[in-house]
């Protein structure tokens, strides 16, 4: 149990720091929220803050979901329609992550007051996009590398749109996010002819 217990504590502390960061940032504004103030709010030393997060942005956004490329390798050989496979894969990831609505709402509010945060939010999803692009390239072939990249970027983008709606709408569940993601991708295809 030793490792798990420590890890659990670590994750809890990381979450506490994120909550503190969001509270301070929402109250004082993102730029005015110094790492010192966040550390104070979280009840840790300024130095410890950087043991948990490399920078202020990471602390505010927390750890984004991770796309497990091992567990998603099936997509390379699947013969189901691509959109369905994409949504299935992203759904797998989303449920592993089980995001916290309250936290996401605070992030939402912060983005409203600090539009620059939106770019940082997207950036935090780039790791997913990159991993997904790799999987898609395995499916589509190296000659479709650029397209794989585009589809990956658009899919994570669509998922992010869905998650933001989910955070705002109490009545929505995670499957609703996936439905929304699928709808967006299909609509784009139709619109682009």
Instruction: Please say which residue, 26 or 154, places its beta carbon nearer to a copy of itself.
Output: 154
- Token digits for 44? 């840790």
Instruction: Please say which residue, 54 or 193, places its beta carbon nearer to DNA.
Output: 54
Q: Per-residue x/- mask for a copy of itself, residues 113 to 142, rule CB under 8 A? A: ------x--xx--x-------------x--
Query: At 101, which helix (H) or strand (E)?
Result: helix 101-113
**Per-residue DSSP letter, 27:** H
Q: Which one of the spans 46-54, 62-70, 156-164, 171-179 is the region binding a copy of itself (CB under 8 A)?
A: 156-164
42 in Cβ contact with 92 (< 8 Å): no
| Residues contributing to the site for DNA (CB under 7 A) | 1-3, 5-6, 9-10, 13, 33-36, 44-48, 50-52, 54-56
Distance of closest approach, residue 100 Cβ to a copy of itself, in angstroms: 23
Q: Which one of the spans 25-33, 69-77, 80-88, 170-178 is the region binding a copy of itself (CB under 8 A)?
A: 80-88
Helices 101-113 and 116-123: crossing angle, nearest 10°? 140
- Token digits for 193? 């002819």
Member of 32, 71, 73, 189 binding a copy of itself (CB under 8 A): 189
CA distance 76 to 97: 23
135 in Cβ contact with 71 (< 8 Å): no
Strands (E), the chain: none
Identify the three-state secondary structure at position 69: coil
Instruction: Please say which residue, 4 or 54, places its beta carbon nearer to a copy of itself.
Output: 54
Identify the three-state secondary structure at position 193: coil
Distance of closest approach, residue 67 Cβ to DNA, in angstroms: 24
CA proximity to 46, closest of 22, 66, 72, 17? 17
Question: What is the number of other CB atoms lying within 10 angstroms of the CB of residue 36?
Answer: 11
Distance of closest approach, residue 116 Cβ to a copy of itself, in angstroms: 10
- With contacts defined by CB under 8 A, how many residues of the chain interact with a copy of itself? 28
Instruction: Please say which residue, 86 or 117, places its beta carbon nearer to DNA.
Output: 117
Residues lying near a copy of itself in the complex (CB under 8 A) are found at 81-83, 119, 122-123, 126, 140, 144, 146-147, 149-151, 153-154, 157-158, 161, 184-189, 191-193
């Amino acid at each position: 149990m030793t490792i798990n217990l420590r890890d659990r504590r670590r994750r809890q502390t990381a979450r506490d720091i994120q909550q503190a960061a969001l509270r301070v940032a929402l109250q004082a504004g993102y730029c005015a929220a110094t790492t010192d103030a966040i550390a104070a709010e979280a009840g840790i030393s300024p130095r410890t803050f950087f043991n948990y997060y490399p920078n202020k942005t990471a602390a505010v956004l927390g750890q984004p979901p991770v796309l497990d490329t091992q567990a998603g390798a099936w997509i390379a050989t699947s013969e189901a329609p691509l959109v369905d496979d994409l949504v299935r894969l992203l759904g797998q990831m989303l449920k592993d992550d089980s995001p916290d609505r309250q936290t996401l709402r605070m992030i939402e509010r912060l983005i409203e007051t600090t539009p620059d945060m939106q770019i940082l939010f997207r950036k935090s999803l780039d790791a997913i996009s990159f991993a997904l692009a790799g999987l898609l390239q395995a499916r589509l072939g190296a000659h479709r590398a650029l397209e794989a990249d585009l589809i990956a970027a658009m899919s994570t983008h669509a998922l992010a749109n869905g998650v933001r709606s989910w955070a705002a709408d109490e009545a929505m569940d995670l499957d609703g996010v996936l439905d929304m993601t699928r709808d967006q991708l299909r609509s784009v295809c139709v619109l682009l002819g």
